[in-house]
Structure 1
């Protein structure tokens, strides 16, 4: 029994910190899920506080895409702290992917739409989930989606639980700003959702390696690889927008839900079959050394504590740390190890110095450093065409190394007619608006700018003719 009310029946999942049980609510005669701390962690004030905050966060939210909380016990009277929740009949998306590997694009955008609806409710309550991943999305038999596990969700009252420089999350789905040690915002949840969508379409996460540090650094510095051409272009555009390196370039949860619902009704998306599983490309260790990760001075003491969650609705306990170069050198001195040889002529590139700048200026700056530059373009809605959104490799490298710069490009989408049609219907006008183009001749005696020529240049010519 948990307290005098809940009878534990079957353990459903267990992790390093907690466990989830199917239980009977003897007072209301219903089946529930009980999440409780493991005995060895039941006395930890930090874990007890996290469970209490999870209960408060869930109690403050009410949405069909979120698991409902019923009760909470603080663990007094020799009881372990526990959280009583809605028992969801379904399986984690991670289990679905383990069986099917890839999903049809229409099913993927449906999952994205529902998850974004839930995140919109979470973000409206000034909360950030911080651990969006397939294991935390439960798929019910009717296809509906439920977001679970708010054990590391962040709200104003959780600031004291996160140590300076600590980042919590799962490396495979970690947002770039989380990997860099910056503050966590709702945009981080949307990046993780984009990575989930990428995995559903490609059959694997975008970055994989036995070294979790290399995966996190890849998310920080490298654009997510392009999806195959078999994925419809509108779906690829949505995923690329969600996984933009710049948090400001990502659409918010409300916009994502609307975007994904439109794609769900697109005939081309509905007809697309599941794609093949992409071959795994092992991520190289950053800068050729998994321990020494070049970083800007204000991040050299960064400590990344990444808590991995073992199962849906369950807080995990595993973690890993990224040590600064100075700490690594100190450890090598203690063990008698010698640092690896470095090329004589090297330069150091911090990709954050170039994000958001114009492509031509970035190319010139890198060439002045003695580097070769290769340019690739990606569709990033919300970013001006020609704006740099990614750069790889980064860190210390030899002069003459080829650096790939990723720049945003514009994608023509049919979204504008949707907005115009809605506006027309509200005013009682036609559902198909008519556009009239009027060509007016230039006034006599005034020079006309050549096609494609900036207006300022044309004005300059007119002043010159006037002097003649």
Structure 2
């Protein structure tokens, strides 16, 4: 579908000029002829709008993201459909995407990085509080106004696109260069997944290069799973580097527990300055783009460059919504306040710092050195995806598991290897009986230590929740192969049904029956009927 200047949508939004073109549609500068203001209108591609149910999901997501009121989230004004095209009207942000700033300027100063990242973390906190996970945080989705105010964009299409064939193949959502390890593995995502992606953005801002860029989407995504983050340049203050590296922890529980915690950690650093944001009330954001080149942005300049394709490393993506009841734990890793400012193990405490600067200056490099040694030891032992553990000597059994799960082993786990080994086993022997009826977390850890990738699906079962019911692959497996675990989600909800109308009375009263006709079916016993009957 082609769009032309002068075309009016919704009887009020008149197209002026194209801002950008992307894989999901186009973004135009438009005039709201009712309110007399300039807006940005995002036009969804007709191919996606024609998908069964897609427009309805897009409409619901637009309505949902319109509730995300925060100064650092681009505001959503309106949504509609005209002639088979779905469109979203949003705030026109006069500025540049961070991706363009990085292309033009290279590495940014630590002070500027802290300001941008802290504002983005505040925006993510507002989204997470509403149960929305962005899942595609990247420089192209972070707009920076000339006054330094940050606007996070592209919420929502991630969730809407989940129902389209574009994503039904089980590909992982997200941009490979900024995807979290759990997202790349097809596991469920949560608020800390967004914070990992934001950590990748912060790393690129400070280093002037991406955290991982292996030349292919799959290779890059698996680097996030297997490779430790390279150290930041020595010119980056150790306190800032420690906070950023904390965001890049492979284990979600070792990252900042929330956007608020990350923002508090950054704002507590010496010399941190931020533009005022209280004068910019906002009530929404536009949907997130999924898979392939990004859509344009509500900017006054050219569109951001094409982003990396979504990594199809393994399995379907986790849920897009992560409700407040399932948020980050009330505690976090040392160094990030979960609910407010507190002491920082990675640097000086937030707020006015007292004495002890020399101690903090020495403690941070020491902690980082210990962490580096720990990572090296883990890598050498093969825990981070190195050589598999010793294969069992039991021959592969031919007995099938109780839950026949179709094999969905992907081609992704054949890329990067973390450890530098001279030889690797050609096969990994997996006996299904060793893992059936075991807790899923124990099985997952055991299989991953042996060099296998693990996906998890759930089904209703009388077994306790979290019990492994079946394995999609067992026997002689290749290192790096994907095994899907079928896990019990617990028994289905029970429903009470009335007793059958023909149920017999308790056999405790040998009194004669009173029905006129032969009541053989209702007789409590098989003995002959009594001689006395009601007349």
Q: Normalising by structure 2, what TM-score?
A: 0.52
What is the CA distance between 1:192 and its match in structure 2? 0.4
Shift of 1:322: 4.0
Asked whether the 8 Å contact 2:180–2:224 carries over to 1, the reply is yes
What's the CA shift string for 1:192-244, capped at 9, x where partnerless?
00000000011110111222211000001112111011110001101111110
Query: 1:256: which partner in 2?
Result: 262
Deviations 1:47-105 (A, max 9, x none): 42453244123212100000111111034xx2511111111111100010001001000
CA deviation vs aligned residue, 1:136-159 (integer Å, no higher than 9, x gap): 0000010010000114344xx987
Partner of 2:129: 124
1:48 to 55, 75, 78: 55
Deviation (angstroms), 1:261: 1.0
Q: Which residue of 2 aligns with 1:16?
A: 23
1:69 touches 1:85 (CA, 8 Å); kept in 2?
A: yes
- Residue 400 of structure 1, CA deviation: 5.1
Structure showing greater Rg: 2
Instruction: Answer yes or no: is the 8 Å Cα contact 2:14–2:31 preserved in 1.
Output: yes
TM value normalised by structure 1 = 0.60
SS of 2:241's partner is helix
Map 1:438-457 onto structure 2 (within 5 A). Answer: none
Deviation at 1:29, TM superposition (A): 0.8
Give, in whole Å, the separation in 2 of the partners of 1:183 and 1:165. 13
Distance in 1 between the 2:44 and 2:74 partners? Answer: 19
Cα 1:379–1:51 shift into 2, 3 Å: farther
Counterpart contact for 2:79–2:87, Cα < 8 Å:
yes
Deviations 1:26-59 (A, max 9, x none): 1111111111112344322354245324412321
- Looking at structure 1, the residues matched to 378 and 93 of structure 2 have their Cα atoms a distance apart, in angstroms, of 40
The structure where helix makes up a greater share of residues is 1
Q: Deviations over 1:403-461 (max 9, x none)?
A: 9xxxxxxxxxxxxxxxxxxxxxxxxxxxxxxxxxxxxxxxxxxxxxxxxxxxxxxxxxx
Q: What secondary structure sits across from 1:237 in the alignment?
A: helix
Correspondence for 1:229 among 234, 237, 255: 234
The alignment status of 1:394 with 2:386, answered yes or no, reads yes
Residues 399 and 140 of structure 1: CA distance in aligned 2, closer, same or farther (over 3 Å): closer
C-alpha offsets along residues 253-285 of structure 1, whole Å, 9 cap, x if unaligned? 10101111112xx14x78xxxxxxxxxxxxxxx
Count of residues in Structure 1 that have an aligned counterpart in Structure 2: 311
Q: Structure 1: how far apart are the matches of 2:46 and 2:111?
A: 44
* Partner residue, 2:250: 245
Supply the distance in 1 between the matched residues of 2:137 and 2:210 (Cα, whole angstroms). Answer: 13
Measured at CA, do residues 380 and 254 of structure 1 come closer, stay the same or move farther in structure 2, by a change above 3 Å?
Answer: farther
In the alignment, structure 1 residue 38 sits paired with structure 2 residue 45: yes
Pair 1:225–1:110, CA change in 2 (3 A): same
Distance 1:256 1:380 in 2: 22
- 1:7·1:24 contact (CA, 8 Å) conserved in 2? yes
Query: What's the RMSD between the two structures over aligned residues?
Result: 3.5
> Contact (CA 8 Å) 2:25, 2:295: kept in 1 or not?
no
Unaligned residue ranges in structure 1 (runs of 5+): 271-304, 325-355, 357-375, 404-468
Mapping of 1:168-317 within 5 angstroms?
A: 168-251=173-256, 252-263=258-269, 266-267=270-271, 306-312=291-297
Residues 1:169 and 1:212: Cα distance change in structure 2 (over 3 Å): same
Classify 1:228/1:392 alpha carbon distance in 2 versus 1 (closer, same or farther; 3 Å).
farther
Partner in structure 2 of residue 438 of structure 1: none
- Aligned partners of 1:21 and 1:122: how far apart in 2? 25
2: distance between equivalents of 1:70 and 1:246? Answer: 38
Cα distance in 1 for partners of 2:23, 2:240 equals 37
Tell me how far apart the structure 2 counterparts of residues 41 and 113 of structure 1 sit (CA, whole Å).
34
Structure 2 unaligned runs (5+)? 1-7, 274-289, 316-332, 334-364, 389-416, 425-535
Deviation of the 1:316 alpha carbon? 8.5
Q: Give the equivalent residue in structure 2 for 1:141.
A: 146
Distance 1:206 1:166, change over 3 A: same
- Which whole-Å CA distance do the structure 2 matches of 1:26 and 1:99 have between them? 36
